[in-house]
């Protein structure tokens, strides 16, 4: 399954209406820390396939969504459950931090 791209045309369907939790990576092409965590995000997408949807959203192309969720700096990871943001991580953090957030999110299921 892996990481898929969300934008203003599919955000509602893929994230807000998802029947499983969703991790959305808010990023941009020019963002070096975003590129640093990209391999981690991709690994976690594979690890949690079927239990967690993992998506990337380019903030330059989807500014209105970034503004709606008050994403002020990138990378920002938002964790959605039942269409609501339930957690967030700001900045380039290590895999254990993201894994811990995912595990907590899945335990709430």
Question: Above 70 in pLDDT, residue 1?
Answer: no
Q: What is the pLDDT of residue 109?
A: 58
**Helix orientation angle between 95-107 and 32-47, rounded to the nearest 10 degrees:** 40
What does the domain layout of the chain look like in residue ranges?
4-107
pTM: 0.96
Tens-digit pLDDT profile for residues 44-99: 999 999 999 999 999 999 999 999 999 999 999 999 999 999 999 999 999 999 99
Which residues make Cβ contacts (< 8 Å) with residue 2, sequence separation at least 6?
42, 45, 46, 49, 54
Would you name the residues annotated as active-site residues?
31, 34
The CATH number of the structural domain formed by 4-107 is 3.40.30.10
H helices of 2-52, where? 11, 32-47
Residues 75, 25: contact at Cβ < 8 Å?
yes
Question: Above 90 in pLDDT, residue 2?
Answer: no
- For 1-109, strand residue ranges (E) read 4-5, 22-27, 53-58, 76-81, 84-90
Residues 87, 36: Cα–Cα separation, whole Å: 21
Q: What is the pLDDT of residue 77?
A: 98
Tens-digit pLDDT profile for residues 17-53: 999 999 999 999 999 999 999 999 999 999 999 999 9
């Amino acid at each position: 399954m892996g990481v898929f791209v969300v934008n203003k045309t599919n955000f509602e369907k893929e994230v807000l209406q998802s029947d499983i939790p969703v991790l959305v990576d808010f990023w941009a092409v020019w963002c070096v820390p975003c590129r640093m965590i990209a391999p981690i995000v991709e690994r976690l997408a594979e690890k949690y396939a079927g239990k967690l949807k993992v998506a990337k959203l380019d903030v330059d192309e989807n500014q209105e969504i970034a503004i709606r969720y008050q994403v002020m700096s990138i990378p920002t990871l938002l964790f959605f459950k039942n269409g609501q943001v339930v957690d967030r991580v700001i900045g380039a953090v290590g895999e254990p931090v993201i894994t811990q957030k995912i595990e907590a999110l899945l335990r709430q299921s």
